[in-house]
C-alpha cells in the first residue's frame, strides 16, 4: 500500500491545531454547550461548564510558569478534575503525562524525576504517598491538590477560582498538529515504564479512524469504562472519543468491581462499555447478573489482554451485544486492529483499522506467509516519535514510519489477525514454540475454570513444560482429581506436548494497574519456589 493511499482515511489537519479545541471547544461551536458532557455520581457538567473549568486551569498553569511543551503530571482519580486538567493542559500548550494515583511513594519518585514535570495535579487522598515525594523532588514542581486538605500545596479550587476563563492567560495556545501533546507510558514489563511521546495529530488520527470508522461513537451515546482514565486505552474510549461526537461520559473514582459497574449501569444506563476480559468475566460470575438490566448497551469494547472465545460467546448469549476485541499500544496510542460491528470473529483480534497497515515479520524483518507466526509491525498516522530518554529502545522499535512490537501474531488468508502472545511469553516445549494463550483458551472452555494463566517451568531434567495457575469457578475446588480432569481435557484438544504438567490453584490472579494478569509477578513466584 502506498503511503498516500494509507493516509486518505483522514483529512489533513489544519496548520493551527490544538486537541482541546478539537475535542472540547468544537462542541460549543456546534451547539452542544448545554448538553451533559460528564456524569459523576449525582452531579453532572455540561460541555460549556467543562470548557470554562479547562480555561481556568490553563490560566492557572500559565500563572505558575508553565511554558509550551513542558509536562503536567496528572495523578488523579476519575472525576471532573481529571477532564479539566487534561483539556486545560492541552489548551495551555502543555504536555500531559498520566499515572495511576494508587501507586506508592517510590514509584511517584521515579515519575517525578523522569517526567521533570513543571506542574503536578493530584488529590488530597494521594498525599500520604506522593506528598513527601513532591516536597523532596529535585526539581520541586508546583503541586495543585484537589480535595479538602491541600497539605501545604496549592489548593486546586482556590487556584481555579482566582482566574478568569476568558482572560489572556486562558487563551488557546496556537499549537500545530506536529507539536508535542502527551506522553503515554508503556506497561513496564521490563524495568521502569517508558513514555511514548505523541503529538496533537496522533490522538486525532486514531479518533478519526478507529473511533469513528470502526467503533462507531454517536452523539446519543452514554459511555462507561472499566479501565481508569490514566490508562491511554480509557483516555481514548471514555474521554477523547465520546467528546469528539458530543456524547456523555460516566466517571467514578473507585475500583471497577462487578458490583460498582452494575450500580453504574443501573444508574446511568450506558450504551457504550469499555472493558477488559477479566471484568467481563467478573460481571458474568456476579450473583446480580441474572437480574441486571443490560438492555441499554449498544457496543462493548475489549483490549489489553486476549478475549477468550468462550467468554465472548457467554457474554453475547447473556446480553446480545458484541464485544469488539482489538489490539492497540502506547506506541500507536490506540487500537489499530479490531473486530468490527457485525463482523466479529471470536478468538481473533479482527482486521486492520482504516488508515493503518500491518505486517508480520520474522527475526530478520522478512514478511512471513499467512498462517505463520511472527512479530507484528504497524504503521499509521498515530505512531509515537520515540521513547523518552531511551535512544536504543527507540531505534529498535521505531524504524521510519513503522513500529515493530514485541507481540507475536499470525494472520489468516482472509485478513484476520490472531494474537499468539509476546515474544518473551512463548514457551519452547519439546523444541517447538508454544503459545500460552492457546492452552489458556482450552482450559477456559472447561466448566470448572474461571481464570487461568499458563507459564513455563523447568522439570527435573531442566526442560521447560507448561504450568497452569487456575482460579476455579464457584462450586469447584482445586484438587489432584480436578488436575487430572483438566490434563485429560487438554490432551484431547491439544498436541501431546502442550498439556500443563502442573496445576497451581488460586483464589484470584494478580493484576497490574491496567487490569491485565501480572505474569511477571507469577513468574517471580515460580523462581522463588
Euclidean distance between CA atoms 77 and 240, whole angstroms: 17
The mean-pLDDT minimum among 109-123, 223-237, 420-434, 440-454 falls in 420-434
Q: Are strands 323-328 and 272-275 parallel, antiparallel or unpaired?
A: unpaired
**Does any domain span residue 12?**
no
Name every residue whose Cβ is closer than 8 Å to that of residue 6 and which is 6 or more positions away in sequence. 355, 356, 357, 379, 380
What's the CA angle centered on 397, arms 399 and 380, to 5 degrees? Answer: 60
Which range, of 232-236, 493-497, 511-515, averages the lowest pLDDT? 511-515
Short-list 372, 497, 377, 347, CA closest to 427: 497
Beta strands 374-380 and 356-361, pairing class: antiparallel
Angle formed by the axes of helices 436-444 and 309-319, to 10°?
Answer: 40
pLDDT of residue 188: 55
**Closest alpha carbon to 375 in 366, 383, 387:** 366
Q: What are phi and psi of 82, to 5 degrees?
A: -60, -50
Strand order in the sheet with 222-225: 43-46, 36-40, 248-251, 222-225, 272-275, 299-302, 323-328, 335-338, 351-352
Q: Examine the domain organization and report whether 287 and 393 are in the same domain.
A: yes
420 band by pLDDT with thresholds 50, 70 and 90 = confident
The H or E element spanning position 249 is strand 248-251
pTM of the model: 0.86
Number of domains in the chain: 3
169 and 40 assigned to the same domain: yes
How large is the greatest C-alpha to C-alpha distance in the chain, in angstroms? 73
3-class secondary structure, 298: coil
E strands, 76-194, are 95-98, 119-123, 142-146, 154-155, 180-185
Q: What mean pLDDT do residues 291-318 have?
A: 93
First to last CA, the chain: 51
Q: Cell numbers of 376, please?
A: 507484528
What separation in angstroms does the CA of 33 have from each of 49, 154, 247, 396? Answer: 8, 30, 12, 46
Give a yes or no: residue 39 inside a domain: yes
Do residues 374 and 450 share a domain? no
Q: Could you tell me whether strands 335-338 and 323-328 are parallel, antiparallel, or unpaired per DSSP bridges?
A: antiparallel
Which of 16-20, 27-31, 184-188 comes out lowest in average pLDDT?
184-188
In this predicted structure, the answer to whether residue 528 has a pLDDT above a threshold of 60 is no
Question: What sign results for the dihedral spanned by CA atoms 60, 62, 68, 69?
Answer: negative
Q: What phi and psi, each to the nearest 5 degrees, are found at residue 116? A: 50, 40
The alpha-helical segments, DSSP class H, found in 308-348 are 309-319
User: For residue 438, which of 493, 487, 486 has the smallest C-alpha distance?
Assistant: 493
Q: How does pLDDT run across 161-214, given as a tens digit for each residue?
A: 999 999 999 999 999 999 999 999 987 555 688 999 999 999 999 999 999 999
Q: Are residue 415 and residue 508 in the same domain, yes or no?
A: no
**Is 399 found in the same domain as 462?**
no
Query: 140 lies in a domain?
Result: yes
- 402 and 281 co-located in one domain: yes
pLDDT for res 308: 87
Residues 256 and 291 in one domain: yes
| Number of neighbours of residue 298 by Cβ within 10 angstroms | 17
Q: Is residue 188 part of a domain?
A: no
Look at residue 4 in the predicted model and tell me its pLDDT: 62
Q: Is residue 516 part of a domain?
A: yes
Q: Is the pLDDT of residue 94 over 60?
A: yes
Q: Return the pLDDT at 388.
A: 98
Let me know whether 161 and 242 are in one domain.
Answer: no
Residues 430-457 pLDDT 10s: 666 678 888 998 999 999 999 999 998 8
**Which pLDDT value is given to residue 297?**
98
d(CA 87, CA 81): 10
Question: Do 441 and 397 belong together in one domain?
Answer: no
Residue 401 sits in the same domain as residue 437: no
Any domain includes 464: yes
Q: Does a structural domain hold residue 3?
A: no
Residue where the block lists cell 459497574: 261
> Is the pLDDT assigned to residue 124 strictly greater than 60?
yes
Q: 323: which strand partners? A: 300
431 and 341 in a common domain: no
Cα angle, residue 410 at apex, residues 409 and 411 outer, rounded to 5°: 125
100/76 Cα distance (integer angstroms)? 7
Per-range mean pLDDT, top range of 237-241, 302-306, 440-444: 237-241
User: In terms of Cα–Cα distance, which of 271, 221, 274, 213 is closest to 246?
Assistant: 221
Q: Both 233 and 365 in a single domain?
A: yes
- 346: domain CATH number is 3.40.50.12780
CA distances from 403 to 95, 106, 377, 487 (A): 22, 31, 5, 39
What is the extent of the structural domain holding 502?
Answer: 427-528
Domain membership of residue 450 (yes or no) is yes
Rounded Cα gap, residues 486 and 382, in angstroms = 43
Can you give the C-alpha Rg of the chain in angstroms? 23
CATH of the domain at 517: 3.30.300.30
| Element spanning 112, H or E | helix 105-115
Cα distance between residue 301 and residue 315, in whole Å? 12
Q: What average pLDDT does the chain have?
A: 93
- Which range, of 167-176, 186-195, 266-275, 467-476, averages the lowest pLDDT? 186-195
pLDDT of residue 421: 77
Lowest mean pLDDT among 29-33, 277-281, 320-324, 414-418: 277-281
Question: On the CB side of 241, how many CA atoms lie within 13 Å of its CA?
Answer: 33
Amino acid at each position: 500500500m502506498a503511503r498516500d493511499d494509507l493516509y486518505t482515511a483522514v483529512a489533513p489537519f489544519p496548520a493551527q491545531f490544538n486537541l482541546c479545541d478539537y475535542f472540547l471547544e468544537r462542541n460549543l461551536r456546534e451547539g452542544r454547550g448545554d448538553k451533559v458532557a460528564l456524569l459523576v455520581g449525582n452531579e453532572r457538567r455540561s460541555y460549556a461548564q467543562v470548557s470554562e473549568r479547562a480555561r481556568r486551569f490553563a490560566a492557572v498553569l500559565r500563572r505558575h510558569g508553565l511554558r509550551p511543551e513542558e509536562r503536567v503530571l496528572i495523578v488523579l482519580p476519575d472525576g471532573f478534575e481529571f477532564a479539566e486538567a487534561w483539556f486545560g493542559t492541552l489548551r495551555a500548550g502543555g504536555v500531559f503525562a498520566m499515572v495511576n494515583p494508587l501507586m506508592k511513594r517510590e514509584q511517584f519518585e521515579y515519575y517525578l524525576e523522569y517526567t521533570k514535570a513543571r506542574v503536578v495535579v493530584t488529590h488530597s487522598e494521594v498525599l500520604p504517598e506522593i506528598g513527601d515525594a513532591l516536597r523532596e523532588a529535585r526539581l520541586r514542581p508546583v503541586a495543585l491538590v484537589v480535595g479538602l486538605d491541600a497539605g501545604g500545596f496549592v489548593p486546586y479550587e482556590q487556584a481555579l477560582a482566582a482566574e478568569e476563563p476568558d482572560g489572556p492567560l486562558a487563551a488557546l495556545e496556537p499549537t500545530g498538529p506536529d507539536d508535542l501533546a502527551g506522553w503515554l507510558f508503556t506497561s513496564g514489563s521490563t524495568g521502569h515504564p517508558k513514555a511514548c511521546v505523541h503529538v496533537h495529530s496522533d490522538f486525532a488520527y486514531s479518533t478519526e479512524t478507529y473511533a469513528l470508522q470502526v467503533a462507531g461513537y454517536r452523539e446519543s451515546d452514554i459511555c462507561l469504562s472499566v479501565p481508569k482514565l490514566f490508562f491511554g486505552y480509557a483516555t481514548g474510549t471514555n474521554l477523547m472519543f465520546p467528546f469528539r461526537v458530543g456524547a456523555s461520559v460516566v466517571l467514578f473514582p473507585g475500583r471497577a468491581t462487578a458490583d460498582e459497574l452494575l450500580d453504574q449501569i443501573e444508574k446511568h444506563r450506558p450504551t457504550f462499555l469499555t472493558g477488559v476480559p477479566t471484568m467481563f468475566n467478573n460481571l458474568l460470575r456476579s450473583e446480580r447478573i441474572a437480574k441486571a438490566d443490560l438492555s441499554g448497551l449498544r457496543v462493548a469494547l475489549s483490549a489489553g489482554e486476549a478475549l477468550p472465545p468462550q467468554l465472548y460467546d457467554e457474554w453475547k448469549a447473556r446480553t446480545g451485544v458484541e464485544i469488539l476485541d482489538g489490539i492497540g499500544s502506547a506506541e500507536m496510542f490506540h487500537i489499530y486492529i479490531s473486530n468490527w460491528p457485525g463482523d466479529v470473529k471470536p478468538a481473533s483480534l479482527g482486521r486492520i483499522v482504516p488508515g493503518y497497515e500491518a505486517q508480520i515479520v520474522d527475526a530478520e524483518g522478512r514478511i512471513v506467509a499467512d498462517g505463520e507466526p511472527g512479530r507484528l509491525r504497524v504503521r499509521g498516522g498515530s505512531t509515537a516519535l520515540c521513547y523518552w530518554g531511551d535512544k536504543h529502545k527507540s531505534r529498535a522499535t521505531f524504524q521510519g514510519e513503522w513500529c515493530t512490537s514485541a507481540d507475536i501474531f499470525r494472520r489468516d488468508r482472509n485478513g484476520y489477525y490472531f494474537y499468539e502472545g509476546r515474544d518473551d511469553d512463548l514457551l519452547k516445549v519439546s523444541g517447538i514454540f508454544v503459545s500460552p494463550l492457546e492452552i489458556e483458551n482450552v482450559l477456559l472452555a472447561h466448566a470448572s475454570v474461571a481464570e487461568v494463566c499458563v507459564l513455563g517451568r523447568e522439570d527435573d531434567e531442566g526442560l521447560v513444560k507448561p504450568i497452569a495457575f487456575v482460579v476455579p469457578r464457584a462450586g469447584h475446588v482445586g484438587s489432584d482429581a480436578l488436575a487430572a480432569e483438566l490434563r485429560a481435557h487438554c490432551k484431547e484438544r491439544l498436541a501431546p506436548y502442550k498439556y500443563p504438567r502442573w496445576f497451581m490453584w488460586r483464589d484470584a490472579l494478580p493484576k497490574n494497574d491496567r487490569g491485565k494478569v501480572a505474569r511477571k509477578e507469577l513468574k517471580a513466584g515460580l523462581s522463588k519456589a
